[in-house]
């Protein structure tokens, strides 16, 4: 592995091995054990778009393992505003860091960056493209709750057109034989390229606009925010904003072990009264971002994860 741009860069065996390592690192992520196996290594965090969880969990992951972090910081204070190309910015990272994480508003920016440098590059979201490290923590969450990734019924809900988390996740779930239900407004359906790839993989897909009718049949509901920032104009956004909402009262027909996930931030698609139900896993999910990214950083930096004794 020389980097992670899409889930296609990982085999199923590699995914499972990363999740196994991540599980062993839970005590480190909780601060119960100090294991500085990345001491002396430097991570460059290049966020050209806003981020809370992804940027901070990469930083936490690196620091918990004894490494250091360089942050690009506010793009308006960098040479990007002077017109520096992404290629030139990445050349600097090749000299300053051992590994780079990039989030960029333009689709393809991560693949482009990885072609520009020798160090491993991790895609932390490229426009409406992919977000494979979110997928790793999503899979970790699903496996922790259901004990398996295989053969589950998963509903992906909301902005499937611009939602990079669901693009990466659906491709990964398909490889583990899950059945997928895509629930979105007609203007925000899953991109045709992805549907075509999923159908070629032989899995079952259903596309619908009915969230509540799907609740009783699924093992996972993966909610997403309708992303205002991806819409070309406000009118288009307001036509679909708030169309899917989950309330506590909607969950009476759900399977007992059905879990609700969300990459966060949420707006109003999950009511706060869902938070205290046994189904709500989104805050736990966000925490798992630390171990999933710890495990990935070790893998890409060629550092094996030892057995961790509590």
d(CA 17, CA 40): 24
Q: How far is CA 90 from CA 26, 86, 122, in A?
A: 32, 6, 12
Bond from prior residue into 284 cis (ω within 30 degrees of 0): no
Say whether 6 is catalytic. Answer: no
Residues 6+ apart with CB under 8 A from 253: 215, 216
Q: How far is CA 183 from CA 18, 164, 208, in A?
A: 29, 15, 5
| Binding residue (CB under 8 A) for other proteins from 13, 82, 186, 192 | 192
Q: Which is nearer to other proteins, 109 or 294 (CB)?
A: 109
Tell how strand 153-157 and strand 220-223 pair up: parallel
Q: Which is nearer to other proteins, 109 or 261 (CB)?
A: 109
Q: Does 228 bind other proteins (CB under 8 A)?
A: no
Compute the least distance from the CB of residue 287 to other proteins, in Å.
30
What is the b/e burial string over 73-88, where b = at least 16 CB atoms within 10 angstroms of the residue's CB? eebeeeebeeeeebee
| Binding residue (CB under 8 A) for other proteins from 41, 55, 103, 111 | 111
What string marks each residue from 46 to 85 as x (binds other proteins by CB under 8 A) or -? -------------------------------------x-x
| Binding residue (CB under 8 A) for other proteins from 127, 207, 255, 277 | 127
Say whether 53 is catalytic. Answer: yes
Q: Which are the catalytic amino acids?
A: 53-54, 82, 103, 131
Q: Given the rule CB under 8 A, which residues bind other proteins?
A: 6, 83, 85-87, 104-109, 111-112, 115-116, 126-130, 192-193, 196
């Amino acid at each position: 592995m020389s980097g992670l741009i899409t889930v296609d860069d990982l085999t199923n065996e590699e995914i499972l091995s990363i999740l196994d390592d991540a599980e062993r690192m839970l005590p480190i992520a909780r601060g119960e054990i100090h294991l500085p196996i990345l001491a002396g290594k430097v991570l460059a965090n290049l966020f050209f778009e806003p981020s809370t969880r992804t940027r901070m969990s990469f930083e936490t992951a690196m620091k918990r393992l004894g490494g250091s972090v360089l942050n690009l910081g506010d793009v308006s204070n960098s040479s990007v505003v002077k017109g520096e190309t992404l290629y030139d910015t990445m050349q600097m990272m090749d000299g300053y860091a051992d590994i780079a994480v990039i989030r960029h508003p333009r689709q393809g920016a991560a693949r482009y960056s990885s072609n520009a440098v020798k160090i491993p590059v991790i895609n932390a979201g490229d426009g409406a493209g992919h977000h494979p490290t979110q997928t790793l923590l999503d899979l970790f969450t699903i496996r922790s709750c259901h004990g398996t990734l295989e053969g589950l019924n998963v509903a992906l809900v909301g902005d499937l057109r611009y939602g990079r988390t669901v693009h990466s996740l659906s491709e990964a779930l398909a490889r583990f034989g899950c059945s997928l239900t895509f629930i979105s407004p007609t203007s925000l359906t899953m991109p045709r390229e992805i549907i075509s790839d999923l159908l070629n993989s032989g899995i079952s897909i259903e596309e619908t606009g009915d969230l509540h009718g799907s609740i009783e049949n699924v093992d996972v509901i993966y909610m997403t925010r309708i992303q205002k920032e991806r819409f070309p104009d406000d009118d288009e956004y307001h036509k679909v904003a708030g169309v899917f909402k989950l309330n506590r009262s909607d969950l009476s027909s759900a399977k007992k072990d059905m879990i609700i996930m969300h990459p966060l931030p949420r707006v109003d698609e999950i009511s706060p009264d869902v938070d205290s139900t046994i189904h709500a896993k989104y805050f736990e999910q966000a925490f798992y971002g630390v171990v999933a990214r710890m495990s990935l950083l070790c893998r890409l930096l060629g550092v094996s994860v030892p057995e961790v004794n509590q």
